[in-house]
Copies of this chain bind each other. A is one copy, B any other.
Amino acid sequence: MRLGEGVEAAIHCAATLASVDGNSTMPGAALAEAFGLSPSYLLKHLNMLTAARILESVPGPAGGYRLARAAERITLLDIVLAIEGREPAFRCSEIRRNGPLRIDASAYVKRCGINAAMLKAERAYRAALAETRLSDIVANYAEEGDPRSFAASCAFVARHQRRQKSSSTKQA
């Protein structure tokens, strides 16, 4: 089982965007620079986060990305599903009815017990991911991260964020 590498980039970018002031945005190129990623590689993942309404993409000269809602309302599960898709990790292909043991369809109305057990574990995984909010990640970084590293991140955000003319603010 493996999550795509995009998940790491997506969570780091969302956590970075949680630190911009008010409704400011940050360009994708700056996010890519912060983590030493290729802008075109990152763009794909930023688009996925935007499609999932975790980020907003603002066009124009002061454009860029910002969180679409408060970091308290975004969980790691939201981000993982945006990048990896909503299908469970275990995808039952019903091999129980592939061979000569197959009987009529009425025998397979009930979900296979193996699939049920695998889905139960997936629910535990998703519940654990849903317990961690983006705001928890940011608070943990501020409290437990290396203070020099945290200060460097804050300075980077301050240097690259773009203030907006409009007075609209992030939806709380």
Contact = CB atoms under 8 A, between A and B. Distances in A.
A89 B2 contact: yes
- Among the interface residues A9, A117, A156, which one has the most CB atoms of the partner chain B within 10 A? A117
Contact of A35 (B89, B98, B153): B98
Contact residues of A: prevailing secondary structure: helix
Q: Taking the full assembly, how many copies of this chain does it contain?
A: 2
A11 interface: yes
A127 B152 CA distance: 37
Interface residues of A, number: 61
A145 B111 CA distance: 9
Contact of A124 (B90, B92, B124): B124
A163 interface: no
